[in-house]
Amino acid sequence: MMNQFDAVESMPVEERESWQAVAIHQLAERLRPPSDFPCVFSQSAFSRGKILFSFVPSLTTLGMRIATNDLRDYVELSRRWDGSVANAEPLIMFFCPNTIAADTVEGYHQIVGRFYKTGIARIRNRGRRRSAGTLIRHTGRCVSGECSSL
């Protein structure tokens, strides 16, 4: 899991064409003013640099381990949240576009359902509480035709 500053500001030049960089750029375009993005809380968190990111390169065992660990870490972090919107740090999970693709909203619901069930099973097997993240698909390209994690 990365904080917004690390994901946006300190990304090495050679990684700025990666699928992760493209995803962040597309999100930033939606959240920077003037924006018609419907969630003012997301806009506020973005403007304050408070968004956390998880980059899931695949739905393989390795990808699911990354996602599960990030969700577990986020749950632990959220337990210490004071409840103030000004201090909220939402988690956005980006999935590599080569991994997740659907033609309909229902198709994305099925993918998220599979991810959620697999992730929850992994967390439960470790005796952890469950949590859910946000799925955002982007149209960026992947490096060398495959997705990698930062």
Instruction: Tell me the pLDDT of the chain (150 aa) as tens digits.
Output: 887 777 766 666 666 678 888 888 888 888 888 888 878 888 888 888 899 999 988 878 888 888 889 989 999 999 999 988 888 899 998 888 887 778 888 888 887 787 777 666 665 665 444 334 444 434 333 333 445 544
Encoded amino acid at 19, one letter: W
Query: CA 148, 145, 27 angle in degrees (round to 5)?
Result: 60
- pLDDT of 123 reads 59
Threshold 0.85, pTM exceeds: no
- pLDDT of 120 reads 64
Tokens of residue 1, six digits: 């899991």
Q: Is the dihedral of CA 54, 60, 62, 64 positive or negative?
A: positive
Q: What is the DSSP letter of 140?
A: P
Residue with tokens 């590599």: 96
